[in-house]
Amino acid sequence: MDYNDVGVVILAAGKGTRMKSDIAKVLHKVANKSMVVHVIGCAKKIAPDNVIVVVGHQAQTVKDEVDKYFKVFFAVQEQLLGTGDAVKTAIPWLKADIKDVLVLCGDVPLIQESTLRNLLDGHKESQAKVSVLATDVDNPKGYGRIVLDEDKNMLCIKEEADANDNEKKIKKVNTGIYCFDKELLISVIDEIKPDNNQAEYYLTDVIEIAQKKNEKIAVITMDDPRQVIGVNTLEELGKAEHLIQLFAK
């Protein structure tokens, strides 16, 4: 089943400096295909006609690679000002009949269709304005922590750099995959401010703004954290290569 009212935005603009390579991060290959091509392949199974890829660093090279496999819309992020700004550049490409926006990262090549369907179904059933895909990991270092209150409602996502000692012990982490009600996203995206250590516009700030407006936010936890390993280093690329062979069996 396709979700005709869902638009998918794939963030593929980053440099990936930790890869120590001249190639744009999302063009590194896993199982002989660029990471971003794996992600688009998964997105196309859900919303075949509504996939928008945000490009920035080496934009033309990324476009050329994607064009070999798929027809998608491209939004260009002129300056790499963070995930919030990247999503903002994609908004004009969302068609009028889109109700929900699924945001994926171009460097998560192992994500599976069933996981995204669970997220979308949970988002729609709960009538949430924002749904965050979370997972529980033994070693949460480096991940944004999902901070919940006593009733398991989400308070915020705390990035590692901003987390206090107690928050650092939280094992439920943000995967960087979200579903937003389109109208809410459009109405709050301009409220994000780059007042953080990186001076970037963080997409996670949308969640905090939605909360202050008392909008419904869902946290949907997936079982298999291996699907959402982000690939930031050559070592992680090797790990993804190993896992993709396991998943294919």
Active site residues: 18
Residues found in the chain: 249
CA triplet 53, 54, 58: central angle to 5 degrees?
110
Are the C-beta atoms of residues 100 and 180 closer than 8 Å to each other? yes
C-alpha distances (whole Å) from 132 to each of 156, 218, 239 are 11, 6, 25
Are the C-beta atoms of residues 158 and 202 closer than 8 Å to each other? no
Q: Give dist(CA 73, CA 93) in Å, integer.
A: 7
Q: Give dist(CA 154, CA 204) in Å, integer.
A: 12
Q: Give dist(CA 107, CA 141) in Å, integer.
A: 18
Question: What residues form DSSP beta bridges with 133?
Answer: 220
Half-sphere exposure of 126 (CA within 13 A, CB side): 20
